[in-house]
């Protein structure tokens, strides 16, 4: 006599997938650009002024904040800036944002916006 068991599990809710770009809006060339957060590793590296690095199908972690760190190529100084994700989270959860851009505006300012 054979017995079969069927397990019923509630399907896991899949995280929202987004296109995530890191954009250098500053006039500085940046090296070692790294997004430090509780989400997946996003390779960035070198960003010249006006350049983006984009990753697609990134599971959005729904966290309040993260950091972006980089080295200014001309001064060789390391900077770490905090980025708030609060406004972006609301739009991602509501299904109104599928593309997020983290903008490095200067050595003292960065933000995250939906585009």
CATH number, domain of 103, equals: 2.60.40
Overall number of domains in the chain:
1
In a domain, 46, yes or no: yes
Q: What is the pTM of this model?
A: 0.85
**8 A C-beta contact, residue 25 and residue 103:** yes
Tokens 């997946």, located at residue = 40
Residue 107 in domain: yes
| 55 within some domain | yes
| pLDDT score recorded for residue 58 | 95
Range of the domain at 53: 17-114
Cα(85)–Cα(88) distance, integer angstroms: 5
Residue 14, pLDDT score: 58
Residue 12 confidence (pLDDT): 44
> Quick one: pLDDT at residue 114?
96
Q: CA 49 to CA 1: how far, in whole Å?
A: 71
Assigned domain for 5 exists: no
pLDDT at 8 over 90: no
Q: What's the rounded mean pLDDT across residues 47-69?
A: 95
């Amino acid at each position: 006599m054979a017995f079969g068991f069927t397990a019923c599990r509630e399907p896991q809710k899949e995280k929202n997938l987004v296109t995530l770009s890191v954009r250098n809006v500053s006039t500085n060339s940046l090296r070692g650009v790294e997004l430090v957060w509780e989400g997946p590793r996003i390779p960035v590296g070198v960003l010249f002024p006006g350049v983006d690095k984009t990753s697609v199908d990134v599971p959005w972690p729904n966290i309040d904040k993260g950091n972006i760190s980089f080295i200014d190529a001309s001064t060789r100084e390391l900077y770490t800036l905090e980025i708030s994700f609060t406004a972006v989270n609301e739009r991602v959860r509501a299904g109104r944002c599928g593309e997020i851009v983290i903008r490095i505006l200067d050595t003292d300012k960065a933000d995250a916006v939906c585009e």
